[in-house]
A and B are shown apart, each in its own frame.
Chain A
Amino acid sequence: MATEKKNISEEKEAKKKEMILFLSSSEEKEHFLSKGNRKLLSDPLDDNNPITVQVLGICSALAITVQLEPAVVMAIAVVAVMAFANMIVSMLRNLIPSRIRIIVQLVVVASLVVLVDQILKAYAYDVSKQLSVFIGLIITNCIVMGRLEAFALGNGVYKSFLDGIGNAAGYGLILIIVAFFRELLGSGKLFGFEVLGHKAATVADSTGLYALGYENNGLMLLSPMALIVVGLLIWVQRARNRKLIEEN
């Protein structure tokens, strides 16, 4: 009993200290969108993209990029999970016992993912059916845990929040680009709308491009094509951004 009380009072004290630290930290003096903070957001979109530069989180990029809609929902879900996971872990960073810090990070991520999954099931049922297990698999997305361990544990709350949004957006951006090409070339649609014309049973009945004899590329619907599209993106990105090219 006595030790428990002591622990609680110790924790209260630690919380007070944490609050003081939190309020007086240097980030408060910095402008909300200072150059450094902007870089946290923009860096993962290009120079330090989690998928094309760090090559993390590839697995889900294969699975849910057949159509744009699930890719967009997935991107939003990952942004929400990463922003809040980074924020929560950063808030607790001086309180988390270092021996169980990975477990704590996992619990934070897992509960956020369950929350997102429950909300999708209630308000976006059809999309949540389409995404099925992949929402749950955000937990195992290396980008999320990686940023918690590498950034949130050592940086302030606001910076971590931006870092979470930035990295998730970098991931989501690639997801959406890949899904755009796969849905357009694979099924001739964007967000489910037939943008290339309507494909009927015969060429004569078809409209748009299909009337000229155009065929959808069924290969684009298969998972390997996601890897190939990601590979092409890496090529394009490095051709434009020479500093990403490794020197041997």
Chain B
Amino acid sequence: MEEKSVNKTNSNGYTFLFAVIMVLVVASVLAFTATSLQPIQKENVRQEKMQNILATIGVETDRPGAEELYNRYITEAVTLDQNGEEREGVDAFTVDLAKEIKRPAEEQNFPLYIADYEGEKYYIVPLRGNGLWNAIFGYISLKDDVNTIKGATFDHLGETPGLGAEITKEWFKESFADEKIFDDSGNLVGVSVVKGDIDPSDKDDNQVDAISGATITGDGVSDMISERLQRYLPYFKKQTEINVATK
């Protein structure tokens, strides 16, 4: 009997049938779990996004509490076109930057969040660019003068742990606070991540200290900031004009 069963499980037909049934069973089980858990997973991602946006203006919160604070402090979420005009009917929160940056500039949607926190107005710009291995992304918030950085957060898909992945660390993010994005002659330069002896207390040099061993990730951060911010220039120009006019 033992021998018979061995022979049977060795036949081509049986092997093939076994493989087919196994694949069908496994596929349906996995598809079922993935579909039924998807709403909860999406909600987690949404809350984390709110948490990250809030973190740039200095509001620390846990993930479940993010939604309430987001609704309290983020007064406006607008989608802009390349001329700084608002695009109606596009929800800024659901704009997928990963897809947007691949489109030509005139078709792109530029999401912008406007926050009102402790009496100050902040503009929060979502960032996305390339690191060494994969995409890097984050948010940067500007004060009402549209020049001084309030805070920044960064995240990445696959940078090297201990090197490029250090961009998510507190000390690196903190070094962006109070840096200026315009140089003395009023040109947009963003903030450069520079190797060497950078004085962290010098907030007017448009530079922050780089991470050793993460040159390409650091350059990616610099490029991402200047490239993204430059897209919002037309809008920011209008805002400063309004500011000047009302003062």
A25 contacts B by Cβ under 8 Å: no
B245 contacts A by Cβ under 8 Å: no
Q: How far is the CB of B108 from chain A (nearest CB, A)?
A: 28
Total A-B residue pairs with C-beta atoms closer than 8 Å? 65
Decide if A121 touches B41 in the complex (CB within 8 Å).
yes
A107 contacts B by Cβ under 8 Å: yes
- Complex contacts, A195 vs chain B, CB 8 Å: none
Partner of B34 from the list A8, A95, A104, A118 (CB cut-off 8 Å) is A118
Q: How far is the CB of B143 from chain A (nearest CB, A)?
A: 25
Decide if B9 touches A98 in the complex (CB within 8 Å).
yes
Tell me the B1-17 residues at the A interface (CB within 8 Å): 5-6, 8-10, 13-15, 17
Q: How far is the CB of A198 from chain B (nearest CB, A)?
A: 16
Bound CA–CA A95/B29 (angstroms) = 20
- Complex contacts, A114 vs chain B, CB 8 Å: 30
Q: Interface 1/0s, chain A 99-115, versus B by CB < 8 A?
A: 11001100100010011
Decide if A99 touches B13 in the complex (CB within 8 Å).
no
Tell me the B36-59 residues at the A interface (CB within 8 Å): 37, 40-41, 44, 48
Decide if B18 touches A96 in the complex (CB within 8 Å).
yes
With A95-B9, A97-B9 known as contacts, the answer to whether A122 contacts B30 (CB < 8 A) is no
Majority secondary structure of chain A interface residues (helix, strand, loop or mixed): helix
- Complex contacts, A121 vs chain B, CB 8 Å: 37, 41, 44
Majority secondary structure of chain B interface residues (helix, strand, loop or mixed): helix
B231 contacts A by Cβ under 8 Å: no
Q: How many residues of A contact B (CB 8 A)?
A: 29
- Complex contacts, A204 vs chain B, CB 8 Å: none
Using a CB–CB distance below 8 Å, which chain A residues touch chain B? 3-4, 7-8, 10-11, 14, 17, 94-100, 103-104, 107, 111, 114-115, 118-119, 121-123, 125-126, 222
Using a CB–CB distance below 8 Å, which chain B residues touch chain A? 5-6, 8-10, 13-15, 17-19, 22-23, 26, 29-30, 33-34, 37, 40-41, 44, 48, 63, 162
A-B residue pairs, 6 tightest by C-beta: A125-B44, A97-B15, A122-B40, A122-B37, A97-B9, A111-B26
- Provide 16 A-B residue pairs closer than 8 Å at the C-beta atoms, listed in order of the A residue: A3-B13, A8-B17, A10-B8, A17-B5, A94-B9, A96-B9, A97-B10, A100-B18, A107-B22, A111-B29, A111-B30, A118-B37, A121-B37, A125-B41, A125-B44, A125-B63
